[in-house]
Amino acid sequence: MSDIASDVIEIIAKKKRVEKPTVELTDRLDALGLESLDAVEMIFDLEEKFDIEIPYNANTNNPRTEFGTVGEVVSAIEKIVANKKS
């Protein structure tokens, strides 16, 4: 697992609202019980961790449906981080 993946998993694990010992790349965000404010906090944590900007408006974006799984969040972050370096 990449460093980014383990960092993202750590951040999402703090926000989940279901009893589950570990967060996997295949876990669905909605199944982890993230609520609207959890999503806003998760995005902040991701921005802080990777020093990136994630355009996100809670009125028009819904991470629970835009990103099906934890793995999709990881891919999105990897892409933003790669763009930032180039």
Partner 1 sequence: MTDVNRVVVTGLGTISPLGHTTASYWDSVKQGISGIGPITLVSTPEQLTQKVAAEVKNFDPLRHFEERELSTLDRISQFAVVAAREAIIQAGITFDIPLSLRTATIIGTGVGGQTTLDESFRRLYVEKKSRVFPLTIPKVMVNAPASQISMFCGLRGPAFAVASACASATHAIGLAFQMLRSGAVDCAVAGGAEACITFGTLRGWEAMRVMAPDTVRPFSKDRKGMVLGEGAAMLILEPLERARARGATILGEIVGFGMGADAADLTAPDKDGMARAMENALADAKLAPSDIQYVNAHGTGTAANDQTETQALHQVFGAHAGKLGVSSTKSMIGHALGAAGALELVATLMSIRESVMPPTIGYLGRDPACDLDYVPNEARVANIDAALSNSFAFGGLNAVLAVKKFT
- Out of 34, 42, 43, 73, the only residue in the binding site for partner 1 (CB under 8 A) is 43
* 36 is a site residue for partner 1 (CB under 8 A): yes
Our CA angle for 40, 24, 44, nearest 5°, is 20
HSE-CB of 6 using CA atoms within 13 angstroms: 3
* Widest CA span in the chain: 39
Element containing residue 36 per DSSP (H, E): helix 36-50
In single-letter form, the type of residue at position 72 comes to E
How far apart are CB 53 and partner 1 at their closest, in Å?
8
Q: Is 84 in the site for partner 1 (CB under 8 A)?
A: no
- Using rule CB under 8 A, residue 40 touches partner 1: yes
Which of positions 58-77 make contact with partner 1 (CB under 8 A)?
58-61
Residues that bind partner 1 (CB under 8 A): 35-37, 40, 43-44, 56-61
